[in-house]
Amino acid sequence: MSDAPGAADDREAYAGFWRRLAAYAIDYLLVFVASGVLAAAAQVAGLIGESPQQLWLAVLAGYFLYYVLLESSPWQATVGKRTLGLQVTNLHGERIGLGRAAVRFVAKALSVLTLCLGFLFIVVTRRRQALHDLVAGTLVAHDGTPRRPAWVVAALATVACVPVLAVLAAIALPAYQDYAIRAQVSEGLSLATGYRDAIEAAWRNSPRDFADLTSDSLATGLPHSGRYVESIEVVSGMIVITYGASANDALAGSVLTLVPALDAERSLGWACGYGEPPAGFEVVFEGHSGYTTIEQHYIPSSCREPGP
């Protein structure tokens, strides 16, 4: 892999992987906290809404401005890079402009989308360029100040990474918990498939009053519980899934229902949870969403209340 010719060929003149990682960790902590505070203040002031998407966009905008403005400034470096005696230059060792700094920031997406392998280019390229440096035509070089010893770099990286990891854990753990709960909900819907098939078969073979369609009348030997499902039963054609057993505490005791619906030809369809029946169908029971008590973000989108 080759680099474009530049003012210096000495590999040691450019920042290595660990020194850049330490600088990034410092910048990450600084910008994440500052952007979060500013986003929260903007939310309180009514400048942005409460949706997570708007908050993340505000944080991303903070990152963009931080990197682009500082790396194109006379500093030629973010706070983290300046702390470690680094600066961003073009291929001739000169200060970069706003445009090149913006391209460099956007190109970091390539380094991330390659499972972060783009950052490992620092290890193998002659002038220690990451993938986004190659795209933007930039270098990260030592600025001429006395270099911090390796143990200082390691200490800074460790100290900075601890709160970064804590922030990531605070984001990842709730997300993982939600994922795990949704997986538990899916067990109930899977068990309900057999009940739904039995009800549809009974309705096709001998249409009758839904009050006659119960767990006892179907007598199909279907499972009445599962690992996370405390019970599943049919009440007047409606499938009632109650979660418990080994389910997460946030799910235990919650109920998800599948309510029958009919079209003009009296064909059978279903409304799941808070969701609407298929187009052209009407639910058999009015206020069908009132039978479900499970929190909406734990169930599939088809089972949620329709948006405005």
| Residue indicated by tokens 């291929």 | 91
Q: Which residues pair with 243 in a beta bridge?
A: 229
117-149 pLDDT per residue, tens: 888 888 889 999 999 999 999 999 988 787 767
Burial 135-151 (b: 16+ CB within 10 A, else e): bbbbbbbbbeeebbeee
Question: From CA 151, how far away is CA 58, in angstroms rounded?
Answer: 35
Q: Find the angle CA(87)-CA(91)-CA(94) to the nearest 5 degrees.
A: 55
User: CA distances (Å), 140 to each of 2, 84, 86, 88, 143, in order?
Assistant: 16, 11, 6, 5, 9
Sign of CA dihedral 95, 99, 105, 108: negative
Question: From CA 30, how far away is CA 23, in angstroms rounded?
Answer: 11
* Residue-by-residue pLDDT tens, the chain, 308 positions: 444 444 445 788 898 888 888 888 888 878 777 766 776 666 666 665 555 566 677 777 878 888 999 999 999 999 889 988 899 999 998 999 999 999 999 998 888 777 778 888 888 899 999 999 999 999 999 887 877 676 666 676 666 666 656 666 666 667 678 888 888 999 999 999 999 999 988 888 876 678 888 888 776 778 889 999 999 999 989 999 999 989 999 898 999 999 999 998 888 999 999 999 999 999 988 888 899 999 988 888 889 888 65
**Inter-axis angle of helices 150-205 and 17-44, to 10 degrees?**
60
User: CA distances (Å), 230 to each of 69, 75, 199, in order?
Assistant: 57, 63, 21
Domains of the chain, with CATH numbers? Answer: 11-148 (no CATH), 180-303 (3.30.700.10)
Spatial contact of 257 and 241, defined as CB atoms under 8 Å apart: yes
Residue type, 201: A
Other C-beta atoms closer than 10 Å to the C-beta of 111 total 21
Q: Where is 61: in which H helix or E strand?
A: helix 52-71
Q: Where is 262: in which H helix or E strand?
A: strand 255-262
Q: Which residues pair with 258 in a beta bridge?
A: 239, 272
Nearest residue to 296 (alpha-carbon basis) of 280, 273, 276, 262: 273
| Residue indicated by tokens 């069908």 | 288
Residue 232, phi then psi, degrees to nearest 5: -140, 125
